[in-house]
Amino acid sequence: MLRSPAAALLRRLAPRITGCSGEAGSSTRRTLPPYISSSSFLARFSSTPTSSPPPSSVGARDDEAEDDKLPGSSGDSGARLSISVDRAGLYSPPEHSHEPSSDSDLVKHLKSIINFRSGPISIAEYMEEVLTNPQSGYYMNRDVFGESGDFITSPEVSQMFGELIGVWAMCLWEQMGQPEKVNLIELGPGRGTLLADLLRGSAKFVNFTKALNINLVECSPTLQKVQYNTLKCEDESVGDEKRTVSKLCGAPVYWHASLEQVPSGCKGLFQLQISCF
């Protein structure tokens, strides 16, 4: 006869295991399970495991438990659903620091462009930002030429260079058949000194100066004002429209932010564009 706690527990559960409800006339009985010894019973319900299961079996149980939780899964016979999400392309940790930074606004702007593209930018894009950025561009907010600026170009030293260019432009116009209208285009005119010397040098050739439409490609508002004064421009009304005219030769003057904005209705005479790589 069993005298251990396990035996006492079996005696208490015996009526339920055999199916006896205690009511009169009940004859339904169930067959008892095979005999379980007290040592094996205690070992099964002991809080301390007798041996550690192999890692592979533990992982298998965990996988099965996870599968049972999925919708539409019914044990081993149910369909298993596997979902994987690739988040590698979304990983872009922001640069944040409470430490003071010595980077200027332009440097921060360039870094943000490079980070946004996840790669380098071209030299042309870099030079465009450094020179013509609306807030921090080198040419945008001040006059950088002359003695009060950072450097001096040849037109600022002598008027001979601009006058020679004017004679060359007039000769080229004659070779073109002396068209009635021609675009005189200068990219990046600086202070307008070169163009002013050109117009003064060719002012005696009246037919040539009458054919000119002067187009200046300049995105700096500061330098546009300097060019306006250098070319001695005045605003005048022509019918319902207003236009700007240079009093050096009487030719109309137009400003454009890019070369694409220059009208192409007449022939181009003089263009100066240099790209360095």
The pLDDT, as a whole number, for residue 139 is 87
Band of residue 252 on the pLDDT scale cut at 50, 70, 90: very high
- Parallel, antiparallel, or unpaired: how do β-strands 252-256 and 212-217 relate? parallel
On average, the pLDDT of the chain sits at 75
pLDDT tens for 73-104 read 455 555 677 787 766 555 555 555 566 667 88
Out of 12-26, 40-54, 100-114, the most confident range is 100-114
pLDDT tens for 216-240 read 999 999 999 999 999 999 998 877 7
Give Cα separations from 39 to 4, 6, 9, 36, 53 (angstroms): 10, 9, 13, 8, 20
Q: Which two tokens stand for residue 1?
A: 């006869």
- Parallel, antiparallel, or unpaired: how do β-strands 233-238 and 241-246 relate? antiparallel
Given a contact cutoff of 8 angstroms between Cβ atoms, the answer to whether 152 and 146 are in contact is yes
The pLDDT, as a whole number, for residue 275 is 45
Q: Which two tokens stand for residue 52?
A: 């550690």
- Domain residue ranges of the chain, discontinuous segments joined by +: 104-138, 155-270
The pLDDT, as a whole number, for residue 253 is 95
Calculate what percentage of the chain has a pLDDT beyond 90. 26
- Helix, strand, coil percentages for the chain (3-state, nearest 5): 40, 15, 45
Give Cα separations from 220 to 81, 134, 172 (angstroms): 61, 8, 30
The pLDDT, as a whole number, for residue 38 is 54
pTM of the model: 0.56
The pLDDT, as a whole number, for residue 234 is 93
Tell whether the model's pLDDT for residue 16 goes beyond 70: no
Higher pLDDT, 21 or 174: 174
The pLDDT, as a whole number, for residue 228 is 96
pLDDT tens for 31-88 read 555 555 555 545 555 555 545 555 544 444 555 555 555 455 455 555 677 787 766 5
Q: Which CATH architecture has domain 155-270?
A: 3-Layer(aba) Sandwich (3.40)
State how far the Cα of 84 lies from the Cα of 28, in Å rounded to an integer.
54
Which residues, other chains included, contact 188 with Cβ-Cβ below 8 Å and sequence gap of 6+?
217, 218, 272
Given a contact cutoff of 8 angstroms between Cβ atoms, the answer to whether 40 and 4 are in contact is no
pLDDT tens for 167-188 read 899 999 999 999 999 999 998 8
Higher pLDDT, 43 or 158: 158
Q: Which two tokens stand for residue 256?
A: 């454009």
State how far the Cα of 79 lies from the Cα of 67, in Å rounded to an integer.
9
The pLDDT, as a whole number, for residue 33 is 55
Given a contact cutoff of 8 angstroms between Cβ atoms, the answer to whether 219 and 187 are in contact is no
The pLDDT, as a whole number, for residue 227 is 94
The pLDDT, as a whole number, for residue 34 is 57
Q: For residue 226, count other CB atoms closer than 10 A to its CB.
A: 19
State how far the Cα of 209 lies from the Cα of 213, in Å rounded to an integer.
9
Task: Determine the 3-state secondary structure of 138 from DSSP.
Answer: coil
The pLDDT, as a whole number, for residue 22 is 47
State how far the Cα of 263 lies from the Cα of 259, in Å rounded to an integer.
9
Given a contact cutoff of 8 angstroms between Cβ atoms, the answer to whether 29 and 19 are in contact is yes
**Dmax (CA) of the chain:** 137
The pLDDT, as a whole number, for residue 255 is 94
